[in-house]
Structure 1
Amino acid sequence: MQRHESLRPLSREHHQTLQIARRLQSGEPDADLRQDLSAHRADLKAHFAAEESIGRQALMQCPDDTILAELLDRMQREHRQIEKLLVEMLDEAGGSATGRRLGELLVAHVRFEERELFNRLQEGCLAGQAGEPA
């Protein structure tokens, strides 16, 4: 499916996040991985802000779309969980178990956004349609 123009950059950014997530899942976080996480942290913060902004705009256009509201709520909860685990990893309090949890959450989160949230957005409110997607 061709992504809506507002979602394309976010989908491209998901690829980089998945690469880091796979490294987190593969074992003990080393200095290189922590450095990459630190560099990626600002990108993630901007990415989350962009997604949440698009979500708010879509919900204003489709205020009666309860499914979209639930998906956006899940997205925001997961963003906060990711941020919390990222802080643990960067404070070096987090070892391989925290890294694996963060990696698993990142993979599941990207899949959720690509397969559920983004599809709902572009088939509904971003496409200018209110309510249920066709």
Structure 2
Amino acid sequence: MKRHHSLVVLSKEHHDGLILAQILKKGAPAYRDLPADPEGKRKYALRFYREELIKHFDKEEKVLLPFCSGISPELDKLFQKMLEDHKRLEKLFEQLKNENDCEKTMHEIGTLLDDHIRMEERELFESVQKHVNEEKLSLLSQKLKG
């Protein structure tokens, strides 16, 4: 199913999140000009989390979730999974701040972030498009841009 224009802003943000997820996984090859050493990856991941992911999570939790919750049990279940993943990722990034040997945590973040983004794209956003009418999706687009 084609992505509704109201969700495109979130999908575009997911692209950069997927790149972060891939470079954090154990044995990941070097990618473009992104850090390849563990400490460089750790610093990059923490900066990306602070500058990008927190804002992205806020859009999903403070705009998308309240706008679409209660519409269907399927959507509510997917939103619950989204919130659980966000909390787990927040804990892992906090753990990453205080670790010297961080490769295991980075791999865990990379794996969870990859799975989380794919769940949102393949299941949550598809369910939003299935259960939310066009008029409401257009209003959502305005709220996500604002």
Give the TM-score, by structure 2 length.
Answer: 0.77
RMSD: 2.0
Give yes or no for the alignment of 1:30 onto 2:43.
Answer: no
Corresponding position of 1:41 = 49
Corresponding residue number in structure 1 for 2:59: 50
Q: Aligned AA for 1:40?
A: F
SS at match of 1:83: helix
**Conservation of the 8 A alpha-carbon contact between 1:21 and 1:102:** yes
How far apart, in 2, do the equivalents of 1:84 and 1:96 lie?
16
Give the whole-Å Cα distance in 2 for the aligned partners of 1:126 and 1:54. 14
Higher relative contact order (CA 8 A, sep 6+): 2
Shift of 1:5: 2.3
Quote the residue 2:126 is aligned against.
119
Gaps of 5+ in 1: 130-134
For 2:72, the equivalent position in structure 1 comes to 65
2:42–2:106 Cα contact (<8 Å) kept: no
Q: Is the 8 A contact 1:37 1:90 kept in 2?
A: no
TM-superposed CA distance for 1:20, in Å, is 1.1
Matches within 5 A, 1:16-27: 16-27=16-27
The question of whether the paired residues in 2 share the 8 Å contact of 1:58 and 1:126 is answered with no
Whole-Å separation in 2 of the counterparts to 1:119 and 1:94: 38
Give the number of equivalent residue pairs: 126
Extract structure 1 runs of 4+ deviating beyond 4 A: none
| 1:125/1:93 CA distance change after superposition, 3 Å | farther
1:80 equivalent in alignment to 2:87: yes
> Matches of 2:100 and 2:109 in 1, distance apart?
13
**Unpaired stretches in structure 2, ≥5 consecutive residues:** 28-35, 137-146
